[in-house]
Amino acid sequence: MGRRSAGRATPRHLKSIDGVPASRSIFSFLVLNAFFPGIVHFLRGKHPVRWAFLAVPAAMWAGATYVGLSAATDRRWLITLLTHPVNSMILIVCLLVISLWYLVTYLDLLRLIRFPLLSRGMKIGVIAVLVPLLVLTSGSTAYAAYLINIGRSALGDIFTGPATADGRTPVKPLLNPVDGRYNILMMGGDAGADREGRRPDSIMAISIDATSGAITTISIPRNLQNAPFPADSPMKAALTNGDGTDGTDGAFNCGDQCIIGNLYAKVNEKYKDLYPNAGDPGAQAMLETSSEILGIKMQAYVIVDMDNFAHLIDLMGGVTINAGGWVPISGAALDNVGGVHLPPEGWIAPGKQKLNGYQALWYSRSRQWVLDYSRNLRQQCIVQAMVKQMDPLTMFTKFSEIAKAGTQIIESDISTAQIGSFIDLALKSQSQPVKRLTIGPPDLVSNVPGQTDFPTYPDFALSKQKVAQLLGKTASATKKPSASSTGASSSAASSSATTQSTTAKPSTPVSTPKPTTSSAPAITKEYLQQLAVAEYNGDAAAGATLTSLLANNGNCTPG
């Protein structure tokens, strides 16, 4: 018999796979698995377990569709999913399961395509396609879980609040709007080497409309005296029945040392036992006195540590502003209240510029030769610039560092379960006008005859009245201002408060003041430094000149 002619051998890389149609190419299997992980395994045979390989990708796509549609129709739902401690943990687990499923199906797919039997060139091609697909599927879902977990941990560290004296972490209930608003007290300060405990340099009440997200900011000067407490506050009883060292008649009113900026440290040092269930007794006392000063219920606090604030700015790549006037970078403080400093170590010039963290910190906190009001305006400008210039690419590439910095900068007793709601309101607020008021100059002046310095001689009935007007409320719970309030001082206060409580518009940078005579020197940092040194050495006229030249340094707009 003649020899049977031999047929052409099928190349090894095209050999059919049991349970998989022979017409499918290996690269098709790899790509198809990226969209339906496990679908190739479903097609491999008739064993009942193969249905699991169909159920998992079906559930994955059903879940992704649900999340996508929900996020598209309800932004708040998505934010809550990412920030709620329980919901975010469920999401992390789901992402890790998907990542592991991709890894398992791809590795087993190598077995199905008989990878060891492939030619050398085919192996290289499979690896060249498989590695990017693994990164895009298993790697990306695992990395997403990692980022969400970092954010979840950071939010937990920031918003859990400090533990009580006996080691318990207070459970903060969800906040309910009061008269349609959420009222949060924000304090900014640090505990530097020249300070006794943490002292807030910036105290600001933020009142948020619970529906529209519209924000009203009310600044309380740090040097406000005679801070009162509500009737149910333990501090009121302590300062009524105490030895009078820190105040009498239930108020923190022992003189210049009893400014509201010192209250936080004083309570944590001397009166913390009055608040056994509070993680931060000083913050709780600040909430109480702020409520009494403003006539609104302050519900929670946020404390910003200014020392670490500079690091966050650096991570963001700096912040660009349009500065309206010269701002000194103050020299070392020569007393424990920061009232006397060595001459400035530098100056921030007027004009558009990018500030690094160190410069932005000083731009936010400097108050030499100006009122606290100017500093408050600059602080608002820096925050607005940070939000406006937030770069998504920077946030993505440095997310872990920024989240870690956040835990070192911010402390709050707001429940993490409610963060999603506040983020949603913050996003709404971007399209809303901002109202603002300062409980002191230039918005309010004292009604005490012969005294106009409101922080030193406060009229709390007047402050409550102005806050009520600003928020559109009726100040029925406050007594009417005294007869003297109808005089010129009250008229000036009313006019100023009305101006500031209208929609806040960006301050227009004002050019540097020009000398009044042709013989006056040009305003440069060298000239300003010369004046500062002269003032430090006792030249009062030099100090007065600096006060005049720096009067416009509160003017600032985001760059």
Residue 138, SS3? helix
119, pLDDT greater than 90? no
Q: Please tell me the predicted confidence (pLDDT) of residue 490.
A: 37
Cβ burial 226-250 (10 Å sphere, 16+ → b, else e): bbbbeeebbbbebbeeeeeebbeeb
Q: Is the CB of residue 412 less than 8 Å from the CB of residue 302?
A: yes
Residue of 407, 418, 411, 436 lying closest to 504 (CA atoms): 436
**Alpha-carbon span 494 to 473, nearest angstrom:** 16
The residues near 297 (Cβ < 8 Å, ≥ 6 apart) are: 178, 183, 291
Residue 7, SS3? coil
Location of structure tokens 């309570």:
267
Q: Please tell me the predicted confidence (pLDDT) of residue 62.
A: 94
Q: Higher pLDDT residue, 438 or 286?
A: 286
57, pLDDT greater than 60? yes
**Alpha-carbon span 389 to 526, nearest angstrom:** 32
Q: Is the CB of residue 115 less than 8 Å from the CB of residue 126?
A: yes
**Alpha-carbon span 216 to 207, nearest angstrom:** 5
Alpha-helical (H) ranges within 74-177 are 75-83, 85-112, 120-134, 140-159
Q: How confident is the model at residue 392 (pLDDT cuts 50, 70, 90)?
A: low
Strands 319-323 and 351-355: antiparallel
Largest interatomic CA distance in the chain: 132
Cβ neighbours around 449 below 10 Å, total: 10
Q: Please tell me the predicted confidence (pLDDT) of residue 501.
A: 37
Instruction: Give the angle 429-434-436 at the CA atoms, nearest 5°.
Output: 140
**Alpha-carbon span 496 to 438, nearest angstrom:** 10
Location of structure tokens 């020299």:
331
Give the mean model confidence (pLDDT) for residues 16-23. 42
The residues near 385 (Cβ < 8 Å, ≥ 6 apart) are: 319, 320, 321, 558, 559
Q: Higher pLDDT residue, 453 or 324?
A: 324
144, pLDDT greater than 50? yes
Q: Minimum mean pLDDT among 107-121, 253-267, 474-488: which range?
A: 474-488
Residue of 369, 382, 415, 367 lying closest to 159 (CA atoms): 415
Give the mean model confidence (pLDDT) for residues 257-272. 92
Residue 144, SS3? helix
Q: What is the dihedral of CA 150, 151, 156, 158, to 10 degrees?
A: 110
**Alpha-carbon span 526 to 522, nearest angstrom:** 10
User: Given its phi and psi angles, is residue 318 left (phi above 0), alpha (psi -120 to 50 degrees) or beta?
Assistant: left
The strand ranges marked E within 290-449 are: 300-305, 319-323, 327-329, 346-348, 351-355, 410-412, 435-438
Q: Which amino acid is at 9?
A: A
**Alpha-carbon span 36 to 21, nearest angstrom:** 17
Averaged pLDDT score across all residues of the chain: 81
191, pLDDT greater than 80? no
**Alpha-carbon span 394 to 319, nearest angstrom:** 13
164, pLDDT greater than 90? no
Q: Is the CB of residue 331 less than 8 Å from the CB of residue 343?
A: yes
Q: Please tell me the predicted confidence (pLDDT) of residue 82.
A: 87
User: Given its phi and psi angles, is residue 340 left (phi above 0), alpha (psi -120 to 50 degrees) or beta?
Assistant: beta
Q: Is the CB of residue 271 less than 8 Å from the CB of residue 265?
A: no
Q: How confident is the model at residue 377 (pLDDT cuts 50, 70, 90)?
A: confident
Q: Which amino acid is at 218?
A: I
Residue of 169, 263, 187, 271 lying closest to 225 (CA atoms): 263
Q: How confident is the model at residue 24 (pLDDT cuts 50, 70, 90)?
A: low
Q: Minimum mean pLDDT among 179-188, 272-281, 348-357, 378-387: which range?
A: 378-387
**Alpha-carbon span 126 to 145, nearest angstrom:** 28
Please, what is the angle between helix 140-159 and helix 85-112, to 10°? 160
Tell me how many helices (H) and strands (E) the chain has. 20, 13
Q: Higher pLDDT residue, 160 or 469?
A: 469
Q: Please tell me the predicted confidence (pLDDT) of residue 492.
A: 36
Q: Please tell me the predicted confidence (pLDDT) of residue 52.
A: 81
Q: Please tell me the predicted confidence (pLDDT) of residue 193.
A: 46
Q: Is the CB of residue 294 less than 8 Å from the CB of residue 460?
A: no
Residue of 362, 389, 365 lying closest to 376 (CA atoms): 365
Q: Which amino acid is at 117?
A: L
Q: Higher pLDDT residue, 113 or 65?
A: 65
Give the mean model confidence (pLDDT) for residues 180-201. 75
Percent of the chain with pLDDT strictly greater than 90 = 39
Alpha-helical (H) ranges within 15-49 are 26-35, 39-42
Q: Please tell me the predicted confidence (pLDDT) of residue 382.
A: 86
User: Given its phi and psi angles, is residue 200 left (phi above 0), alpha (psi -120 to 50 degrees) or beta?
Assistant: beta
5, pLDDT greater than 70? no
**Whole-angstrom Cα Rg for the chain:** 32
Q: Is the CB of residue 185 less than 8 Å from the CB of residue 280?
A: no
Q: Is the CB of residue 21 less than 8 Å from the CB of residue 43?
A: yes
